[in-house]
Structure 1
């Protein structure tokens, strides 16, 4: 595999119009209209190779312009294809990315360039925007020559629509290839690849190439070129220029503090940047929901716009959140790693990682949402004292971190958070859920030798979450995690805390009433069952007495029989036999006359 390596500046001195093989005039015109004249390093290194019909595996810093690096060659390859112009259901190109938001962004960026190709129709295929049948109907009516989407929806379409013809596919692009080839999407991507012709151009793009990507490059790419673009980073301690996987304009910091101080430090940081645009990353969806709710209760943050986004939200809500945050000049986006990859949101000043990501590769993607295309930006990751080895670990991965001191002026917000939980059950319940979800996600951290969940100080962590009491968790009970530092709230019946939302409180009261009735019914049923059992026991005692009495009478009868002479016993037996014969004779006569059926006869 060939190798090409560059040191990233904001832009190179290479113009798009100077690239060889040359880009078409239509493409150059669209670029000039959009304000693009000079290439970024990854664009200058990648576009000529793809246009020269070479497969590429691109490893470049986030925010370096990878989207245009694969879109422009893709459009040019389709333009000069022997099958151009294609038939309506002839698929010429496929672009796959791991998230709906990223696929949508790629689709929108592609439209001005694809529009320079007459009779070529591009289709966005992602879930959450409607049923798959709607996409199928669109393709049937308008065709689909370029498919852009997520693995799940794309594979679904391929399996359902035999009308699509992939035999003349020219090019396949995998954006965020490391994630696409990870365990989450590996099966779907492999199924897609098995349906595509091997004679094609393939591009793999990511900021963090993995062994999986390497294996695919060896197995599926022909004469591949490896393009590695590293950013230039200056160490404050040595003032030496070093290679980094993060953008050159990004200043990376870590803030080390105890778990019960994190929330106060976060609020202080948000106040400090109240007129700026920030993204705050959490490890779980429940954490995003909780911190959105509880931070809105902090008086000093009332004027700030707090927006949340995570994968459990409906797609329309996710779209609105991204659109609102993108258009805002300031505010905070509280998010999970669904917003970590590829999204190009303008004007982000600072990235805050309240929880370090479970996968260290996602660290690079998270911080890459700022300092894009040569701009300046800042990123801060919160670490507990026992997690300090993470700094050296990231330094070995070419991601140097500088220490940031805790603010001594940060106000204690825990009393405010607890007061909010006392006034609104939603805060109480979401806090408990977020706490539990964080602990269980922490257990799954890939850097388990640094993030040791058995050493979590649950007490301090619970205080940092503003909990009124610690939830009963198996992790706490069985492994005896430290609850030191937690001060439970005394003299409060937590069941009396109501939802501020009256409709939710009404629903809760209805559920409680239903539960009370079911409990009463169960107790009544159990009481009736117990009474029945007592009656049965009494009956059983009575029957036992009768049987015992009968046995006694039989014993007396046998005693009397023993006193009879042999002649007397014969007379008694003869009388019984004659009576039996007479009874059978009467039955036989009735049977012959049809007065009784055999099944009506009494048992002998």
Structure 2
């Protein structure tokens, strides 16, 4: 007979028992102790034990019992000393647990949530940058001392138009540059953003056309060409000219990519005197539009010249200058006039080796001075005057000039908190009237954050705190009561990037300028030259690639002496960037996190950690329930990772892609997958999209040798060259070979 001995552990769990198997004498008469094992209740041995033995044992129950299992007799031994005492202790323990359940539910739930999201797992990272460092930044005086536009040698009607639009006192750069440009000299002008550089060339160009006698006609064609890097800047400059130009005989037009080419051709055919456009579209019309006649051009302006070079327009600008030069040569040579005996004293034509634009006044304007700007200046102009407002002792390419009225701050935050911190900042902007630029690295990031904030933040009702972090549901699935306020946040959200349609970009730009409270999520396409007077805050969600980009981003606020603030997001691994800026005499102060109080009020959570967790959970649930939004989130993360790995060599020590925890950055995009899973999803999404087909007829430059060789097809053989004149035209009959 086999004997099994059961003994319960300290916790009195009947699921697992210690079983000792012992056999009687074997056939050879020897006694043997078999194995010592741990069996579970689901094992075959215990499954044959009657269920009556699994019941609680009373004090007078037998400690040994013999049970017949199958054909064998088995003895069960229960070793449970002091069972009743243990049972009483266990019952008391259960009562204590039940008593403290209600009190500990919230704590346990919070702990589980923290473990689930791990938003607060990083608590011991320190800020080693000295936040109290101050210094004297490089300051450029914006306004002149009492110089007014009426004192300039310009037409009196033009001066009165300037006064009507509150242009009274000249800025420092206007005081120095406008007299030089009025004399018709070439100029290279360097000044900080928001210092009024547009009027430096707008006033002289209009003044020249107003004073022409007889009055200029549409048939006289182009007189001035202004080249700008972006469509929004072209529209803005066009608006400035329209304000000053109350003279009906002077026509101002603009050419931008994305517009109707046929409409632009008709406009050029009727006649335009001042033309503002982007390099690509201008060159397109120069090469393919017969009505684009540049033989009478007197002035060429390159505004935001540093940005033109950064965007890769150097080749287009060079080709545009060459075409203008060819138009000037064709004007000097008129064979019909020679036959009629007219115009015998022909001007000396420009030689082929001379690449400068002779007889054309050229003006370059830039907020920074780089090697590329100097090379472009030498290419376009033989002689020019360099104009800036800084003192000679302060001149240096390594120093950055930021408007004095801008308060610059930095926010060092954990990677996982970046998304929620940005949302909290947007919520805080609803309290004050103003406009905010939020700069991001890629167009996919702009699309994703715009849609996410629109769905889960801007449209959140004022009593959105009802949706606790433990029971977070989407707004679309939650039914509000009739007395609940459901207007959403009093804030308009906009997006702007280069991949948008031209009509959309124009509508967004105009809508943002007209809005009382607005946030524009954009790429660096909005970083150059745009003038939004009410813009009081700049947020750089991703750090710029160069110091020039930092200047132009911050320059969207604090324009013409107005106050503003600029905030840049940095992680603990990127905080060395603050010291880099200090080397260029740009001093940032640490920002306070007062805006988290506004988030706590919106989510109706007194604790900031719970409010952060609630908003993060809302974002994650939004992605999990919306496939299209989740796809945009994956694309945004993928585009960000590609951007981050392309920082220049001098920035790699600060923004090093190899040192990043990509899993944490996935959380900052509200994604719950691993980076590998996201990469696979993105790969499938990209392969499913067909590439856009380009219109080869509108190409500005010739194809490369490889593409031209690939496009060539095999020549088709002509039947007339391979067929005899006596042939019937039928295919010859193939004779079968005779078998030998």
Give the distance between the partners of 2:302 and 2:573, measured in 1 at CA: 38
Alignment of 1:440-459 (within 5 A): 440-446=642-648, 447-459=651-663
Partner residue, 2:373: 213
Is the 8 Å Cα contact of residues 59 and 205 (structure 1) preserved in structure 2?
Answer: yes
Superposition RMSD on alpha carbons, in Å?
2.9
Q: CA offset at residue 147 of structure 1? A: 1.4
The one of 178, 203, 212 aligned to 1:47: 178
- Which deviations, in whole Å up to 9, do the C-alpha atoms of 1:271-303 show, x marking residues without a partner? 222133211111011111111122231337941
Partner residue, 1:271: 427
- Which deviations, in whole Å up to 9, do the C-alpha atoms of 1:33-87 show, x marking residues without a partner? 1121111112112111111222221111111111112111122233456896256
- Which deviations, in whole Å up to 9, do the C-alpha atoms of 1:433-478 show, x marking residues without a partner? 111110101111233332111112211111111102024279x89x
The one of 544, 548, 563 aligned to 1:361: 548
Partner residue, 1:603: 739
The one of 538, 557, 561 aligned to 1:351: 538
The one of 208, 214, 219 aligned to 1:88: 219
Is the 8 Å Cα contact of residues 177 and 206 (structure 1) preserved in structure 2?
Answer: yes
Partner residue, 1:121: 251
Is the 8 Å Cα contact of residues 174 and 196 (structure 2) preserved in structure 1?
Answer: yes
Q: CA offset at residue 427 of structure 1? A: 2.2
Is the 8 Å Cα contact of residues 11 and 374 (structure 1) preserved in structure 2?
Answer: no
Give the distance between the partners of 2:425 and 2:235, measured in 1 at CA: 32
Partner residue, 1:539: none
Give the distance between the partners of 1:342 and 1:352, measured in 2 at CA: 17
Give the distance between the partners of 2:564 and 2:506, measured in 1 at CA: 25
Q: CA offset at residue 229 of structure 1? A: 3.5
TM-score w.r.t. the length of structure 1 is: 0.72
Alignment of 1:385-404 (within 5 A): 385-404=572-591
Give the distance between the partners of 1:67 and 1:14, measured in 2 at CA: 18
How many residues align? The count is 468
Structure 1 position 196 matched with structure 2 position 324? yes
**Bigger CA drift: 63-72 or 357-366?**
357-366
The one of 408, 428, 450 aligned to 1:252: 408
Q: Secondary structure at the match of 2:176?
A: helix
Give the distance between the partners of 2:288 and 2:565, measured in 1 at CA: 46
Give the distance between the partners of 1:64 and 1:214, measured in 2 at CA: 21
Task: Identify, as 1 or 2, the structure richer in helix.
Answer: 1
Compared CA separation, residues 6 and 394, structure 1 to 2 (3 A)? closer
Give the distance between the partners of 1:245 and 1:120, measured in 2 at CA: 37
TM-score w.r.t. the length of structure 2 is: 0.59
Give the distance between the partners of 2:309 and 2:238, measured in 1 at CA: 21
Q: CA offset at residue 10 of structure 1? A: 4.8
Partner residue, 2:70: none
Partner residue, 1:151: 279
Give the distance between the partners of 1:445 and 1:601, measured in 2 at CA: 73
Give the distance between the partners of 1:439 and 1:127, measured in 2 at CA: 29
Structure 1 position 288 matched with structure 2 position 475? no
Which ranges in structure 2 are unaligned for 5 or more consecutive residues?
A: 1-137, 326-356, 392-398, 465-487, 598-607, 689-732
The one of 68, 74, 96 aligned to 2:205: 74
- Which deviations, in whole Å up to 9, do the C-alpha atoms of 1:385-428 show, x marking residues without a partner? 12122222223334332222455755323211111112211221
Compared CA separation, residues 112 and 405, structure 1 to 2 (3 A)? closer
Q: CA offset at residue 217 of structure 1? A: 2.1
Is the 8 Å Cα contact of residues 6 and 229 (structure 1) preserved in structure 2?
Answer: no
Give the distance between the partners of 1:391 and 1:452, measured in 2 at CA: 15
Structure 1 position 107 matched with structure 2 position 238? yes
Give the distance between the partners of 1:598 and 1:192, measured in 2 at CA: 63
Compared CA separation, residues 173 and 16, structure 1 to 2 (3 A)? same
Structure 1 position 169 matched with structure 2 position 297? yes
Q: Secondary structure at the match of 2:529?
A: coil
Is the 8 Å Cα contact of residues 309 and 372 (structure 2) preserved in structure 1?
Answer: yes
Q: Secondary structure at the match of 2:147?
A: coil
**Bigger CA drift: 169-178 or 270-279?**
270-279
Is the 8 Å Cα contact of residues 197 and 365 (structure 2) preserved in structure 1?
Answer: yes
Compared CA separation, residues 68 and 602, structure 1 to 2 (3 A)? same
Is the 8 Å Cα contact of residues 64 and 247 (structure 1) preserved in structure 2?
Answer: no
Partner residue, 1:136: 265
Q: Secondary structure at the match of 2:451?
A: helix
